[in-house]
Structure 1
Amino acid sequence: MSIKDNLEIAQLFLAKLGAGAPHEQIIQLFSADLDWNIPGETGVLPWIGHKTGNSAIVDFLRDASQMIERVRFEVHDVLASEERAIIFGELASRIKKTGKTIEQAYAIVLTIADGKITRFLMLEDSFATAKAAHL
């Protein structure tokens, strides 16, 4: 893929996510054999950890909308290479169950092949997020 194509796919992902597009539209951006990873404490929030298959993005979209409220999601930069796009920003989320808010920086690394996102790696303080989810 070209740098321009990868940049466009990352921007399309962000646009669909930000607009609250139906999950089916977002899922179409991902490959069936997606490699999903948000390192952190597994078992507290279902999307944290390493998973495979595009069911990982399905589960994330469903579970996140049920469990967290997006307070703020800022994108500072989107950079791309011939294999990846990287999204840098800051976010604030409120855990619905506990009412606790987490503010943090993040980086999302998307590996892209044949027009599909094949790897999703999110770097955030997922330990703080998991801690906020504990009652």
Structure 2
Amino acid sequence: MSDETRGIVEELLRRMAEGDHDRTAELFAEPVDWRLAWPAEGHPAVPWIRPRSGRAEVADHFRSLEAHHVPELNGTSVTRILVDGADAVVLGEIAQTVRDGGVSYTSPFALHLTVEDGLVTRFHIYEDSLTVARALSAQA
């Protein structure tokens, strides 16, 4: 099971890095347990931070991220992938540049994924949401 989990996680990360939003979404179950670490009410400067439950919403999440950032300046990196059965944790650093205003920011992240029957059933990401919101609000 760990090998299958690792393979799906690596494929997910590859598709995310390539900006292939629809193919990325194909790796998610219907419904998906989706959570980002942010205030429950979200933040108006960060419209992609909201509940998601299905593939179309997952694709929309990644499209919204791309629309608000300069993809060519994305320096996000993965430092470690830990796998235990169906669960995986991806550790790394987000490095993005905001499209409007050119503000750059970095944030460590941890991504908890669960893979069942070849699909991602859990996507919980933890990041420094305050740094992200400030950058998008041009307060950084």
Q: Deviations over 1:69-124 (max 9, x none)?
A: 24301111111111211111112111112321111111111111111001111111
Structure 1 stretches lacking a partner, 5+ long = none
- Deviation for aligned residue 1:6: 0.4
Find out whether 1:53 has 2:54 as its counterpart. yes
Say if 1:48 and 1:126, in contact at 8 Å, map to a contact too: no
Say if 2:28 and 2:54, in contact at 8 Å, map to a contact too: no
Aligned to 2:127, which of 124, 127, 132?
Answer: 124
How many residues in Structure 1 have an aligned counterpart in Structure 2? 133
Find out whether 1:65 has 2:66 as its counterpart. yes
- Where do 1:54-93 residues align within 5 Å? 54-69=55-70, 70-93=73-96
The structure with the greater share of residues assigned to strand is 1
Name the structure 2 match of 1:5: 4
Identity of aligned residues (%): 26
Match of 1:72, SS state, is coil
4+ long deviations beyond 6 Å: none
Say if 1:91 and 1:103, in contact at 8 Å, map to a contact too: yes
- Deviation for aligned residue 1:52: 2.0
TM-score normalized with structure 1 length: 0.89
- Deviation for aligned residue 1:51: 2.8
**Residue type matched to 1:34 in 2?**
V
Structure 2 stretches lacking a partner, 5+ long = none
